[in-house]
């Protein structure tokens, strides 16, 4: 895992050896079949690659094809390490898609990578359930 700043974005990039495990832990195949999880951008978005090699960002919640935005990743960028954030991921206690306010002080916390994957899976299950009910 490589993490740090690239200009104004904090990136967490999975190594080739970590990609398969991350794909499973985050349940990406359920929401984006055929996509590969490369990492996170700015804590709020996943960086994914489709089968043709195009790279996209998509919110961690909801992981939904309609929110894919094409993204470019530099081929050989060096990330500037920042010990304040190493091993931590910013998390909104109430995700924005569920009405959470990013400016509300009590809505922001820092979680471990393991906690993050569990929260992402749980909240995306809630999102899919509500989406089916409202269809």
Task: Report pLDDT for 49.
Answer: 97
Task: Report pLDDT for 123.
Answer: 97
Handedness of CA 39, 42, 46, 48 (dihedral sign): negative
Which residue has 């920042």 as its token pair? 82
- Output the tens digit of pLDDT for each of the chain's 135 residues: 999 999 999 999 999 999 999 999 999 999 999 999 999 999 899 999 999 999 999 999 999 999 999 998 877 678 999 999 999 999 999 999 999 999 998 999 999 999 999 999 999 999 999 999 987
Query: Which are the contacts of 114, defined by CB distance < 8 A and separation ≥ 6?
Result: none
Which phi and psi (to 5°) does residue 111 adopt?
-125, 165
Task: Report pLDDT for 24.
Answer: 94
Distance CA 130, CA 128 (A): 5
Distance CA 27, CA 118 (A): 10
CATH architecture of 2-133: 3-Layer(aba) Sandwich (3.40)
Supply 88's token pair: 């931590």
Task: Report pLDDT for 66.
Answer: 95
Q: Alpha helices of the chain — where are they, by DSSP H?
A: 16-26, 28-31, 113-133
Task: Report pLDDT for 72.
Answer: 87
């Amino acid at each position: 895992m490589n993490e740090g700043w690239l200009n104004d974005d904090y990136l967490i990039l999975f190594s080739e050896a970590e990609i398969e495990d991350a794909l499973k832990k985050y349940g990406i195949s359920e929401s984006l079949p055929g996509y590969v999880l490369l990492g996170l951008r700015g804590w709020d978005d996943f960086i994914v690659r489709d089968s043709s090699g195009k790279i996209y960002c998509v919110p961690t919640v909801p992981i939904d094809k309609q929110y894919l935005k094409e993204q470019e990743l530099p081929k050989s960028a060096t990330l500037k390490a920042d010990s304040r954030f190493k091993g931590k991921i910013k998390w909104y206690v109430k995700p924005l898609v569920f009405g959470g306010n990013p400016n509300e002080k009590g809505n922001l916390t820092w979680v471990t990578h393991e906690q993050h994957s569990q929260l992402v899976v749980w909240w995306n299950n809630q999102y899919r359930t509500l989406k089916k009910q409202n269809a």
